[in-house]
A = this chain, B = another copy of it.
Amino acid sequence: MKRKIASSKLRSAAFTRTRADHSAELAHDYCELIAELIDEKGEARGTDIALRLGVSNATVAKTMKRFSDQGLVEQEPYRAIFLTADGWKLAEDGRRKHAIVEQFLLALGISSKVAQVDAEGIEHHVSDETLKAMARFLARN
């Protein structure tokens, strides 16, 4: 019965991680997008974020307030949004993972549209070990 108990613990751990991941995922997505907008235009405005994320302005405002409390972004009232050091860390981490996963999927023969969408979903759920294996695979192909 040892195996079953172990696998049950593993499942519960994975599930717990899944739940915790959902909010982290959102933070990653927002920070990645804000970083992109800053690179493109020098600043990230609420409307642009809302438009690209497919979400209302109000939702962005509320989320930005939460993230500001968590120290991920900085913002003056009625002004654009910027990332803190922590925010940049999340953004860079996300970009790195995203790039590896997307390249990996392309190398596997996935079409570029699907690779982009799947990479977005997968990037938040790959461990470092898996990421390294993907990078290794890419290096060999």
Contacts and interface: CB of A to CB of B under 8 A. Distances in A.
Contacts of A22: 22
A10 B12 CA distance: 33
Interface string A52-73: 1111000000000000000000
A18 B8 contact: no
Given A22-B22, A122-B122, A133-B108, A117 B10 contact: yes
Given A13-B54, A54-B15, A122-B122, A129 B116 contact: no
A118 B126 CA distance: 6
Interface residues of A, number: 45
Nearest to A8: B52
A137 B121 contact: no
Interface of A: 7-8, 10-18, 21-22, 25, 29, 33, 51-55, 105, 108-111, 113-118, 120-122, 124-127, 129-130, 133-134, 136-137
